[in-house]
Amino acid sequence: MTAPRINRVQSNPFNITEEITALRGERKDIGAIVTFTGTVRDTAAGEKITTMALEHYPGMTEQELEHITNEAHSRWPLQGSTIIHRIGDLSPGDDIVLVITLSAHRAAAFEAAEFLMDFLKSKAPFWKKETGESGNADWVDARDTDTEALTRWQK
Amino acid sequence: MKLMYFAWVREKIGINQETVSPPETVKTISELITWLESRGPEYRAAFENRESIRAAINQTHVDHHSTLEAAAEVAFFPPVTGG
């Protein structure tokens, strides 16, 4: 049986509990469920943020998420994985991204969730633009630490 | 060849996509950027800091040395910032 792989890009909010239920189905051999949620911070470079707009490259995003997911499933004995990434205009406190990993034991679930997030942040074609209280809108700069995070996964 | 632009590359060029027919001497991503820069100040502004420009051919990440053969869709964008 192939472990379910759910990848989605959507503007609507997600419900973590519902997503876990949808992913695990009727399976009773799952011992570990790890979830990661990324959310919108209310400040950037000392300024209050009012809006975060998320843009992506339809088509390429789905391909990249599929590559990343397949790689994670080939490295760890996962019983399922979910990646949901939101697009459009978000507000401080809103959820941006959800990763869920299922495995018989926690180590694989933790590691795979980190792996998925590290690769998503460096490879999936999403871009954030923050608007501050002053009305200034700036594209978020990529962080070197996100690129460096990939090196630990090199085989 | 279909070109697509995202984030601040899109804003600086002023359009999100276009169809172009570069001359046959344009064989790589790098040469395509140089050719685009010859088309106007908006392109020169977008590609001013070349090292920060990322590219994809047919929706797969590539570097600037990659050749354009079989490239139906080429995209230019800043380093990604999702997650």
- Please report, for residues A111, A119, A127, the alpha-carbon distance to residue A55 in angstroms, rounded to integers and kept in the order given: 28, 18, 5
Contacts of B11 (CB under 8 A, 6+ apart): none
Number of neighbours of residue A89 by Cβ within 10 angstroms: 14
**Closest residue to B59, CB basis, from A60, A121, A141:** A60
Question: What pLDDT is attached to residue A144?
Answer: 84
Q: Do B82 and A128 touch (CB under 8 A)?
A: yes
Question: What pLDDT is attached to residue A57?
Answer: 98
Question: Within a domain: residue B21?
Answer: yes
Question: Within a domain: residue B24?
Answer: yes
Question: Within a domain: residue B83?
Answer: no
**Contact with chain A for residue B17, Cβ under 8 A:** no
**Closest residue to B78, CB basis, from A60, A127, A146:** A127
Q: Do A139 and B56 touch (CB under 8 A)?
A: no
- Taking a C-beta distance cutoff of 8 angstroms, is the pair A145, A118 a contact? no
**Closest residue to B82, CB basis, from A63, A126, A139:** A126
Model ipTM value: 0.96
Triad A73, A37, B53: Cα angle to 5°: 75
Residues 36-55 of B with CB under 8 A from A: none
Q: If DSSP codes are grouped into helix, strand and coil, which group holds residue A90?
A: strand
Looking at the domain that runs over A5-151, which CATH code has it been given?
3.90.1170.40
- Strands B73-77 and B2-5: what pairing? parallel
User: B22 to chain A, minimum CA–CA distance in Å?
Assistant: 23
Distance CA A145, CA A128 (A): 17
Structural domains counted in chain B: 1
Q: How confident is the model at residue A155 (pLDDT cuts 50, 70, 90)?
A: confident
- Taking a C-beta distance cutoff of 8 angstroms, is the pair A38, A83 a contact? no
Q: How confident is the model at residue A1 (pLDDT cuts 50, 70, 90)?
A: low
pLDDT digits (tens, 9 = 90+) for B38-61: 999 999 999 999 999 999 999 999
Rounded to an integer, the average pLDDT of A42-71 is 96
> Does the pTM of the predicted model rise above 0.80?
yes
pLDDT digits (tens, 9 = 90+) for A97-113: 999 999 999 999 999 99
DSSP strands (E only) in chain A = 5-10, 32-39, 43-44, 47-56, 78-86, 88-90, 95-103, 126-132, 137-139
* Structural domain harbouring B66: 2-77
Structure-block tokens of residue B83: 């997650």
Question: Within a domain: residue B82?
Answer: no
**Closest residue to A117, CB basis, from B56, B80, B83:** B83
* In chain A, domain spans: 5-151
**Contact with chain A for residue B82, Cβ under 8 A:** yes
- Which domain CATH number covers B33? 3.10.20.30
pLDDT truncated to tens, each residue of chain B (83 aa)? Answer: 999 999 999 999 999 999 999 999 999 999 999 999 999 999 999 999 999 999 999 999 999 999 999 999 999 999 999 99
Q: Do B81 and A141 touch (CB under 8 A)?
A: yes
User: Looking at this protein, which amino acid is placed at residue A133?
Assistant: E
Rounded to an integer, the average pLDDT of A116-135 is 96
Q: Do A121 and B82 touch (CB under 8 A)?
A: yes
Question: Within a domain: residue B71?
Answer: yes
- Residues in A closer than 8 angstroms to B46, CB to CB, are none
User: Looking at this protein, which amino acid is placed at residue A140?
Assistant: V
Distance CA A38, CA A96 (A): 5
Q: How confident is the model at residue A121 (pLDDT cuts 50, 70, 90)?
A: very high
